[in-house]
Chain A
Amino acid sequence: MNVMIFKALLPLIIMGAGIVVLMLQIAIRRHHVATFYVGIAVIVLSLAAVAGLSPTTTLDATPLLIVDNFARLFSLLILLAALVTLMASDQWLRFEGAESGEYTLLILLATFGAMVLVHAQHAAAFILGLEILGVSVYTLIAYPQRQAVSVEAGLKYLVLSSASTAILLFGVALIYAATGTLDFQQMGAGVAGANNILISCAAILILAGVGFKLSLVPFHMWTPDIYEGAPTPVTGFLATVSKVAIFASLLRWYTDARLGEYEAVLVALTFVAILSMVMGNLLALKQDNVKRLLGYSSVAHMGYLLITVIIFTAPGVADLAREASVWYLIAYTVSTLAAFVALTMVADRGAYPDSTHREKLQGLFWRQPLVATLLTVALLSLAGVPLTAGFIGKFYVVAAGVDAQAWSLLVALVLGSAISIFYYLRTIYSFTGHAELDGGGAVAMTLMSKTLAVILIIGVLLLGTMPNQLIDQFSWIL
């Protein structure tokens, strides 16, 4: 391993070493504050390592891992999301009196898995990353062991996720049988002379397996139950880090291995996307628990995102499609994270897990104006209202879709967005209502939570008003 490869892999190495350090720290002495700062330090160091990488050309660091702009950008996004999650969790952990040691450890492990995923250029690395991420998330969901609903959610996710991984592995086996390789790019090269039926089946199995993690219809059934049952910061983590990493990795696999050249795969994906957009929004329509609502809406958002994958093979659209998916992922991550951070902050003592019910949010604007503003901005962004991050993302997707002339997908997108306006606005509207609760149980916000809320509000709005400037700020990395 020469110096260049070492430097390129440094973010991953720091994460791995950091996890060990944190484990030692917990073994020596359990201490909430120390754990918190070690966790934050590991992530910040890794972030610095990502940022410190010069914008090199693509580097095959190992046969399994590739370091390129794509991986760097998503590492950055994942690390930032993990940082926000840890900061938002702090208040929740103190509040619930939960043990913070293992929690922080699991978040770091899951983040590590997600980073492996976005670097993966080989099916083995993909599965490895997926499972590091997955196993950590099962535990995180069931972290409040005394909450029956959380344990149930964790168990459900474990069982269903295992089933989906089995499907995925079967698909990998088939594609290995057809092409004789597990490397994404060699798969693409070997595709030409291989058995079409076998590869089509393999691709569909893989997409089904990944589709479960992304909660695409018809593999979406778990979403609301797990979103509701998991601790709110963990739900935010699951909705952003987990989905973004898996989607980014899927995008790489799909394009490198040229899976989009099979008619059946495209047709299957189109059906999945349309169903996700329409059904996700329909399911969210009358949902009263905001966490469940966001679960269903994430189904729809993944459907919108899938458009960018489907049109990838349309002539001359590839660049715009890639740009659109990156933008949408950034906008989705920031907005969703903002929403869940806000929901973490409204949690009432003892009311868990019902505190995110719409009735409990009545009059939030008068009780907790900052949190209400954050949640409003986040929901408007998810709805795709102009001047928020979500609008830019959606605009990109529509522009790419129009270029590719994917009209049926766009019709579903417009239909779904129209439906979604109803439930987002209905939720926001309830914040202005008369407060039925005295808000006595609300947590007093720490300075860190307030700062986090302000940063997220500004972030969502800046991404919507001056997106290119903001990205230019990061261009020295890319």
Chain B
Amino acid sequence: MQLLLTLVPGLPLLSATLLLLVGRHLPKAMVTACGVGSIGLAGIAVALLLNQWLISPEPFSVTLWQWLSVGSFRVDIALHLDQLSIIWLCTITGIGFLIHLYSSEYMAEDSDYSRYFAYLNLFVASMLVLVLADNLLLLFLGWEGVGLCSYLLIGFWYQDAANGAAARKAFLWTRAGDAAMAVGLFLLVAEFSSLDIHEVVAGAQLAWVEGSFLPNVACALIFAGAVGKSAQLPLQTWLPDAMAGPTPVSALIHAATMVTAGIYLLARLNGLYILAPAVLSVVAMIGMITAVVAAFAALAQHDIKRILAYSTISQLGYMFLALGVQAWDAGILHMMTHAFFKALLFLAAGAVIECLHHEQDIRRMGGLRSRLPVPFWSFLIGSAALAALPFTAGFASKDLILLRVWSSGPEGALLWSGAAVGAFITALYSFKLIFVVFFGDINTEPTRQPGWRMAIPLGVLAFFSIVGGFISLPLDSVVPLANEEPPHGLIAMVTAGIPIVGVLVAYLLFGRQWIRDLAGPMHSTVGTWLAAFWHGGWGMDTLYRRTLVQPYTALARGLRNEPIDVLVNLIAWITTQFHLGLAATQNGQLRRYIAIMVVGLILMLSLVDGGAS
């Protein structure tokens, strides 16, 4: 058990190290074996762990070694397995393996094949460290490792300057959240003088009064980190641009790693968040608004990957909404089902893009249903799950979230209506995608069909996108579960019906040629303006560019030669002057050296004072 748990993050890490050091000199088959095999073996280790777990569900920790032990301060490198981390383990290694397998075909022609797999392995390893970490320091290490790898992978094709810019954007935006989170973690460590997550949470529950100042501040700061990593308002703008990386990387970022880290963090610290109800309602509100706003933005996109990117932001909003109303289990279930169908959608999109010679604009696609059957069926199942149609995995989790939100309290109805609007738009854009890409007239002929290494992951993920919702997640020992049953009756029927209405509307709007012609006049000035507005992600990018980036660069440019700059440079100048002054004493002459020694000695001796003892 202990060894198995160590192998889970250990194997990908080992493979990443190997590939980084000597990957260039290895034959391609070797690289594939290392890159895909390490995740596969880690997946097998997780399966064995799970098997053990089902027999005896006892949480346990493995202390690998002690990193620091200075006085009373000690940091262990320790892994902890419990109900929460095992769910993430299964998702990360399972979906991670499928994405690696898919990548081995998708990236086969790339000249930097080994570098790609090295980063990909490191990405998975960091995420595994993050979810297995027993203490806040290790968690932070995994957290930052994930951030670093996302930067490396988004900018993987760095020869194109735009990709580099997208990578930097992702890095800087998540860093903004991380800065706040680090302060929050410092606050926890300072308060409880322990890094151990369980000790900190237990200590907080003993020492802190619910709703008082400190838990609110700590939770808000840590939530800021989660907002950055999980691309919630107002730090969401990096995710659509993160499409610059290879498509399997997007799948990995959106499904198995990275963006679910924020969800994990909040779920892991639920004992802390319960002490801060005000922050929790902010979490719910931000989640709801993000879900709606991102859904509208997805509706207006033309790039197939950007549609999926906005849909991820929107779905993450639902997860935060669930966490915010303390429906912890619903949020975690949605994380898992979303991982299935979003990985499926991204990989299917990758197959479409690859088979159409890197065409990403859906307006130049169409009629692909019979030409690309495997991606079509994958997409259909994925979109159905995304839209939360009944009998899919997405329905099981999203329906649960909506019902829990309804019964969550005084704000429940408001949050529910927002979420319901979001669910309607979600169904609309996911089936718009289906109708535009796979029905209608053919616009671009596919040049090839996906091979088996692409088809198998699609099949497996499609299977789980349907049945994934029936997996019951035992979470009783890690999060408090709701006692009452979700509401029945009219509200349940309305909730379940919304996606179906959305699909019908999508059919009417995008599936029928005559209605499309009829809707021509709707492209009025207001309509186009709104579409453009949503297309630009509610103008958030523009807003940030205008309010933050441009003033900042203008300020920087303006100050380049200005007096304030001199003040800043003064430190460097003074330091340099000191250096020069001191360096002048080093003239290489013995008598100077001796003289300085003697003067120094006399000064030291002059400190001796007869009275002191």
Binding site for B on A (CB under 8 A): 156, 159-160, 163-164, 167, 196-197, 200-201, 204-205, 207-208, 212, 217-219, 221-222, 224-225, 262-264, 267-268, 271-272, 279, 282-283, 285-286, 320, 323, 392, 395-396, 399-400, 403, 419, 465-469
The 3 A-B pairs at the shortest CB distance, nearest first, are namely A218-B600, A221-B593, A263-B612
B6, chain A: closest CB distance, angstroms: 14
B593 touches A282 (CB 8 A): no
A282 touches B70 (CB 8 A): no
Known: A196-B610, A204-B604, A466-B67. A221 touches B579 (CB 8 A): no
Task: A264 to B611: give the CA distance in the assembly, Å.
Answer: 10
- Is the C-beta of B68 less than 8 angstroms from some C-beta in chain A? yes
Known: A268-B607, A283-B582, A286-B579. A468 touches B66 (CB 8 A): yes
B583 touches A222 (CB 8 A): no
B604 touches A208 (CB 8 A): yes
B55, chain A: closest CB distance, angstroms: 32
Known: A399-B70, A468-B65. A160 touches B609 (CB 8 A): no
- Taking CB as reference atom, which chain A residue is nearest B610? A197
Stretch at the interface among B29-37, B91-99, B556-564, B584-592: B584-592
Q: Which residues of the other chain, A, contact B579 by a CB distance below 8 angstroms? A: 282-283, 285-286
- Is the C-beta of B71 less than 8 angstroms from some C-beta in chain A? yes
Task: A221 to B580: give the CA distance in the assembly, Å.
Answer: 15
- Is the C-beta of B608 less than 8 angstroms from some C-beta in chain A? yes
Task: A283 to B610: give the CA distance in the assembly, Å.
Answer: 36
- Taking CB as reference atom, which chain A residue is nearest B595? A221
The digit string for B416-445, where 1 denotes a CB below 8 A from any CB of A, is 000000000000000000000000000000
B65 touches A264 (CB 8 A): no
Known: A268-B607, A395-B70. A286 touches B576 (CB 8 A): yes
Which of A272, A396, A419, A468 gathers most chain B CB within 10 Å?
A468
B32, chain A: closest CB distance, angstroms: 25
For this complex, 16 residue pairs linking A to B, each with C-beta atoms less than 8 Å apart, are A204-B608, A207-B604, A218-B599, A222-B593, A263-B609, A263-B613, A264-B607, A279-B582, A283-B579, A283-B586, A285-B579, A286-B576, A286-B580, A323-B70, A395-B70, A468-B67
Give which listed residue, A159, A205, A403, A468, contacts B69 with CB less than 8 A. Answer: A468
A221 touches B597 (CB 8 A): yes
Task: A467 to B610: give the CA distance in the assembly, Å.
Answer: 46
Give which listed residue, A196, A222, A396, A403, contacts B613 with CB less than 8 A. Answer: A196
A167 touches B613 (CB 8 A): no
Task: A43 to B333: give the CA distance in the assembly, Å.
Answer: 63
- Is the C-beta of B73 less than 8 angstroms from some C-beta in chain A? yes
Task: A124 to B66: give the CA distance in the assembly, Å.
Answer: 42
A461, chain B: closest CB distance, angstroms: 12
Q: Which residues of the other chain, B, contact A204 by a CB distance below 8 angstroms? A: 601, 604-605, 607-608
A19, chain B: closest CB distance, angstroms: 32
A-B contacts besides A205-B601, A468-B65, 10 pairs, CB < 8 Å: A160-B597, A196-B613, A205-B605, A221-B593, A271-B604, A282-B579, A399-B70, A399-B71, A403-B71, A468-B68
Q: Give the bracket for the number of chain B residues in contact with chain A.
A: 35 or more
Task: A469 to B609: give the CA distance in the assembly, Å.
Answer: 47
- Taking CB as reference atom, which chain B residue is nearest A324? B70
Task: A98 to B566: give the CA distance in the assembly, Å.
Answer: 53
- Taking CB as reference atom, which chain B residue is nearest A160? B593
B66 touches A219 (CB 8 A): no
Task: A262 to B66: give the CA distance in the assembly, Å.
Answer: 39
- Taking CB as reference atom, which chain A residue is nearest B587? A221
Q: Which residues of the other chain, B, contact A267 by a CB distance below 8 angstroms? A: 607
Which of B575, B583, B590, B604 gathers most chain A CB within 10 Å?
B604
Q: Which residues of the other chain, B, contact A224 by a CB distance below 8 angstroms? A: 586
A212 touches B597 (CB 8 A): yes
A43, chain B: closest CB distance, angstroms: 30
- Taking CB as reference atom, which chain B residue is nearest A152? B588
Which of B66, B73, B590, B599 gathers most chain A CB within 10 Å?
B590
Q: Which residues of the other chain, A, contact B580 by a CB distance below 8 angstroms? A: 286
B303, chain A: closest CB distance, angstroms: 36
Known: A263-B612, A264-B609, A283-B582. A320 touches B71 (CB 8 A): yes
**For chain B residues 104-140, which have a beta carbon within 8 Å of chain A?**
none
Task: A145 to B185: give the CA distance in the assembly, Å.
Answer: 59
B604 touches A268 (CB 8 A): yes
Give which listed residue, B68, B582, B597, B599, contacts A395 with CB less than 8 A. Answer: B68
B596 touches A221 (CB 8 A): yes
A392, chain B: closest CB distance, angstroms: 7
Task: A170 to B585: give the CA distance in the assembly, Å.
Answer: 27
- Is the C-beta of B470 less than 8 angstroms from some C-beta in chain A? no
A457, chain B: closest CB distance, angstroms: 11
Task: A233 to B607: give the CA distance in the assembly, Å.
Answer: 39
- Is the C-beta of B578 less than 8 angstroms from some C-beta in chain A? yes
Q: Which residues of the other chain, B, contact A159 by a CB distance below 8 angstroms? A: 590, 594
B601 touches A197 (CB 8 A): no
B583 touches A197 (CB 8 A): no
Which of A218, A225, A466, A469 gathers most chain B CB within 10 Å?
A218
A402, chain B: closest CB distance, angstroms: 9
A399 touches B73 (CB 8 A): yes
Q: Which residues of the other chain, A, contact B593 by a CB distance below 8 angstroms? A: 156, 160, 221-222
- Taking CB as reference atom, which chain A residue is nearest B593? A221
- Taking CB as reference atom, which chain A residue is nearest B76? A468
- Taking CB as reference atom, which chain B residue is nearest A195? B610
B597 touches A469 (CB 8 A): no
A396 touches B70 (CB 8 A): yes
A160 touches B590 (CB 8 A): yes
- Taking CB as reference atom, which chain B residue is nearest A469? B65
Task: A399 to B613: give the CA distance in the assembly, Å.
Answer: 28
A419 touches B613 (CB 8 A): no
**For chain B residues 55-96, which have a beta carbon within 8 Å of chain A?**
65-71, 73, 77
- Taking CB as reference atom, which chain B residue is nearest A466? B65
Q: Which residues of the other chain, A, contact B65 by a CB distance below 8 angstroms? A: 466, 468-469
B17, chain A: closest CB distance, angstroms: 12
Give which listed residue, B68, B582, B607, contacts A467 with CB less than 8 A. Answer: B68
B586 touches A163 (CB 8 A): no
A459, chain B: closest CB distance, angstroms: 16
Q: Which residues of the other chain, B, contact A283 by a CB distance below 8 angstroms? A: 579, 582-583, 586
B597 touches A201 (CB 8 A): no
Give which listed residue, A156, A212, A271, A419, contacts B590 with CB less than 8 A. Answer: A156
B141, chain A: closest CB distance, angstroms: 10
Q: Which residues of the other chain, B, contact A268 by a CB distance below 8 angstroms? A: 604, 607
Q: Which residues of the other chain, B, contact A272 by a CB distance below 8 angstroms? A: 604
Q: Which residues of the other chain, A, contact B596 by a CB distance below 8 angstroms? A: 218, 221
B70 touches A167 (CB 8 A): no
**For chain B residues 180-230, which have a beta carbon within 8 Å of chain A?**
none
Q: Which residues of the other chain, B, contact A467 by a CB distance below 8 angstroms? A: 67-68
Q: Which residues of the other chain, B, contact A466 by a CB distance below 8 angstroms? A: 65-67, 77
Task: A262 to B610: give the CA distance in the assembly, Å.
Answer: 11
A261, chain B: closest CB distance, angstroms: 8
A358, chain B: closest CB distance, angstroms: 15
A282 touches B610 (CB 8 A): no
Give which listed residue, B68, B73, B612, contacts A392 with CB less than 8 A. Answer: B68
Task: A208 to B608: give the CA distance in the assembly, Å.
Answer: 14
- Taking CB as reference atom, which chain B residue is nearest A268? B604
Q: Which residues of the other chain, A, contact B590 by a CB distance below 8 angstroms? A: 156, 159-160
B578 touches A262 (CB 8 A): no
Q: Which residues of the other chain, A, contact B613 by a CB distance below 8 angstroms? A: 196, 262-263
Give which listed residue, A163, A167, A282, contacts B575 with CB less than 8 A. Answer: A282
B443, chain A: closest CB distance, angstroms: 47
A246, chain B: closest CB distance, angstroms: 17
A469 touches B66 (CB 8 A): yes
B579, chain A: closest CB distance, angstroms: 4
Q: Which residues of the other chain, A, contact B612 by a CB distance below 8 angstroms? A: 196, 262-264
A219 touches B600 (CB 8 A): yes
Q: Which residues of the other chain, A, contact B73 by a CB distance below 8 angstroms? A: 399
Q: Which residues of the other chain, B, contact A469 by a CB distance below 8 angstroms? A: 65-66
Task: A440 to B66: give the CA distance in the assembly, Å.
Answer: 46
B72, chain A: closest CB distance, angstroms: 9
B139, chain A: closest CB distance, angstroms: 15
